């Protein structure tokens, strides 16, 4: 997969791209990520890309010209141009899975007050927001998108998290993890995890994922379907939680 990031601040990606799984994925040619300076595509002699808004008001707006030139230089035949903005569709795991199938993505990062509407209307194939808040620019959002997408490219995650483990809790929050020591200052690791009984361990993990999701993100239940075993676990969780609350 190829990812180009069109930005006024390419240097912000330096350490991000040199770290951890993202670095390894690039070293192993699973992905190529290239920050591109928007100013390189300005036709202005001072490399300026922003102008005051038509109609007045404060701040500066990034004009269409440099973005259009950048995209026409970078676009191939299988390219999706994605604008990052607070107006876009919400970025979720499902959107990450969708993007992970693509060959080439160009991420467009805005900054300042915003970007000329023609970039959104005429240039972008997709518009993505990472949440209902306003960032100073699309760069940090681009990092979130790249992080979530690259880990889904086949072969990028080694032993960190197998696909089967992820599908085990698909759509749920993850079950709790523990490592040594067994007893930290009196806070103990659940016995079942030390039992070596993998059937029991899997049941416990599924149940705790259901418990966590029910307690913290019950809204996620609406888009999930459950089998008979899950329904038994959910009933057990509800019963235990009621007892815990003395209800
Ligand atoms: N740029 C500014 N705010 C943003 C957000 N919430 N998501 C994506 N890009 C943005």
Q: Where are the domains of the chain?
A: 2-150, 183-244
Q: Is the pLDDT of residue 160 over 70?
A: no
pLDDT at 163: 54
The tens digit of pLDDT for each residue in 45-65 reads 999 999 999 999 989 999 999
- Considering the domain 183-244 in this protein, what is its CATH number? 1.10.1270.20
CA 63/CA 60 separation, integer angstroms: 9
Cα(88) to centroid(ligand 1), Å: 8
Q: What CATH number does the domain located at 2-150 have?
A: 3.40.1280.10
Q: How far apart are CA 238 and CA 247, in angstroms?
A: 11
pLDDT per residue over 97-111, tens digit each? 999 999 999 999 998
- pTM for this one? 0.92
Which residues are near ligand 1 (CB < 6 Å)? Answer: 84-86, 129-131, 133-135, 138, 141
**Over residues 79-83, mean pLDDT:** 98
Q: Whose CA is nearest to atom 5 of ligand 1?
A: 86
In sequence order, the 6+-apart residues with CB closer than 8 A to the CB of 103 are: 1, 2, 76, 78, 79
């Amino acid at each position: 997969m190829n990812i180009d990031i069109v930005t006024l601040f390419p240097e912000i990606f330096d350490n991000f791209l040199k770290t951890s799984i993202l670095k390894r994925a690039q070293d192993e040619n699973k992905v190529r990520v290239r920050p591109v300076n928007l100013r390189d595509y300005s036709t202005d002699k001072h490399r300026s890309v922003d102008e005051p808004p038509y109609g007045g008001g404060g701040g500066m707006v990034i004009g269409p010209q440099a973005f259009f030139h950048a995209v026409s230089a970078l676009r191939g035949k299988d390219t999706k141009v994605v604008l990052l903005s607070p107006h876009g569709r919400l970025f979720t795991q499902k959107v990450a899975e969708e993007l992970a199938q693509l060959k080439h993505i160009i991420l467009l990062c805005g900054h300042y007050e915003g970007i000329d509407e023609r970039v959104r209307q005429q240039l972008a194939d997709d518009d993505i927001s990472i949440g209902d808040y306003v960032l100073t620019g699309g760069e940090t959002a681009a990092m979130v998108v790249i992080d979530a997408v690259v880990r889904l490219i086949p072969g990028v995650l080694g032993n960190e998290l197998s696909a089967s483990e992820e599908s085990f809790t698909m759509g749920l929050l993850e079950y709790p993890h523990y490592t040594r020591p067994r007893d930290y200052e009196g806070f103990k690791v659940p016995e079942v995890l030390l039992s070596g009984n993998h059937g029991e361990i899997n049941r416990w993990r599924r149940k705790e994922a259901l418990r966590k999701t029910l307690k913290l993100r019950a809204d996620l239940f609406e888009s999930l379907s459950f089998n008979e075993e899950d329904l038994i676990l959910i009933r057990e969780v509800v019963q235990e939680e009621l007892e815990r609350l003395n209800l």
